[in-house]
Amino acid sequence: MKALVYHGPQKFAWEEVPDPKILDDTDAVVQVDTLTICGTTLHILKGDVPEVTDGRILGHEAVGTIVAVGSGVKTRAPGDRVLVSCISACGRCRFCREGRFGQCLGGGGWIFGHLIDGTQAEYVRVPFADTSTYPVPEGVSDEELVMLADILPTSYEVGVLNGRVSPGDTVAVVGAGPIGLSAILGARMYSPSHVVAIDLAGSRLDAAKRFGADHTVNNGEHDAVAFVMGITEGLGADVAIEAVGVPETFELCTRLVRPGGRVANIGVHGKPATLHLESLWTRDVTVTTGLVDTYSTPTLLRLVASHQVDAGAFVTHHFALGEMEAAYDTFRRAGETGAIKVVLTR
């Protein structure tokens, strides 16, 4: 089969690799029908995730058709169409029993395209198929569904829920890429008084308005802190959500937040960021971090299936599976191409 294989920072290729096989009795092999590219994979290609080694198939988001299952799989069968979650769950360990699937001790967690071969391929081996896939509901397209593999639960859990967004809050979202836009969409469910999107790219700020931001600030041209202070009587945002993953944006969030407020970090950081405790310690600021657990996926599936959340709105570009390198080029140059999410189909 063909797959996108990592060969070190800034090096990857769409090349022939062996077909995946059932290794454990809880595995399934899934034919990949639809996939997307995540910003986390761009961090991998920059060298920010050193655990990813030469020869690893990239990717952790897909919708596909099961072609084989192990003898221990009870609720999935060949022919079933499924969403493959970015997080795998053994379902038995301490953390899985707490719903913290991202911290799975039984061989799950974030493993696709990280510790095992991922989904950017014609076929993928899926461990723990019963607890790590979701049946495709009727009336939901593949491109809507694949947004539920990662970005929607990530932003909802790690941004909106960790940040405890509440009615009447002022929410500042730093970074208006796919994760930031998802955070805006999720925050709107809780009736905030203001959602402020902050970014350097005009095209992404335009997208933020479409996704529900009340205000946008280009922080290359304007002072984002002054703007937020101006609409909050000098207090700052109740919740500042970091959705980029660089030191400057994290530190900006700590300046945007009010006393007693919350900073929810979603971004994948490849470098240390300074935590200014000399100014934060007296302000009762809560800082949260997190890897998505995907416990919210069933809820989000219901919202998408009932058309209360338009997951398809994220998709701006379509490619065939064999056009992987062109899709990456478009996604990497989002500031120029206007890409939010690219979708590749078999």
Nearest-10 Cα torsion for 176, 182, 184, 187: -150
Predicted local distance difference test score (pLDDT) of residue 242: 98
Over residues 206-224, the mean pLDDT reads: 97
* Average pLDDT of the chain, as a whole number: 96
Predicted local distance difference test score (pLDDT) of residue 341: 96
Of 157, 128, 108, the closest CA to residue 290 belongs to 157
Percent of the chain with pLDDT over 70: 100
Of 295 and 40, the structure prediction assigns the larger pLDDT to: 295
Please give the full DSSP string across 39-105, using - where no structure is assigned.
Answer: HHHHHHHHT--TTS-TTPBP---EEEEEEEE-TT--S--TT-EEEE-SSB--SSSHHHHTT-GGG-S
Of 229, 287, 230, the closest CA to residue 258 belongs to 229
Return d(Cα 122, Cα 81) in angstroms, integer.
Answer: 15
Q: Does residue 204 contact residue 177 with C-beta atoms inside 8 Å?
A: yes
Predicted local distance difference test score (pLDDT) of residue 130: 98
Domains of the chain: 2-150+293-345 (3.90.180.10), 153-288 (3.40.50.720)
Of 24, 20, 67, 59, the closest CA to residue 41 belongs to 59
The 10s digit of each residue's pLDDT in 131-163 is: 999 999 988 999 999 999 999 999 999 999 999
Over residues 290-305, the mean pLDDT reads: 96
Predicted local distance difference test score (pLDDT) of residue 63: 98
Please give the full DSSP string across 180-203, using - where no structure is assigned.
Answer: HHHHHHHHHTT--SEEEEEES-HH
What is the H or E stretch that residue 249 is in? helix 247-256
Of 145, 207, 196, 155, the closest CA to residue 172 belongs to 196
pLDDT at 74 over 90: yes
Predicted local distance difference test score (pLDDT) of residue 48: 86
The 10s digit of each residue's pLDDT in 258-286 is: 999 999 999 999 899 999 999 999 999 99
Over residues 298-307, the mean pLDDT reads: 95
Question: pTM of the entire structure?
Answer: 0.94
pLDDT at 46 over 90: no
Predicted local distance difference test score (pLDDT) of residue 47: 87
Return d(Cα 61, Cα 89) in angstroms, integer.
Answer: 15
- CA 271 to chain centroid, in Å, comes to 19
Using a 10 angstrom Cβ sphere, with 0-12 exposed, 13-18 middle and 19 or more buried, the burial of residue 304 is: buried
What is the H or E stretch that residue 179 is in? helix 178-188
The 10s digit of each residue's pLDDT in 102-134 is: 999 999 999 999 999 999 999 999 999 999 999
Return d(Cα 240, Cα 225) in angstroms, integer.
Answer: 11
Return d(Cα 249, Cα 172) in angstroms, integer.
Answer: 12
Predicted local distance difference test score (pLDDT) of residue 170: 98
pLDDT at 183 over 90: yes
Predicted local distance difference test score (pLDDT) of residue 270: 85
Predicted local distance difference test score (pLDDT) of residue 193: 98
Coil, helix or strand at residue 240: strand
Confidence of residue 335 (pLDDT cuts 50, 70, 90): confident
Phi, psi of 77 (to 5 degrees): -150, 160
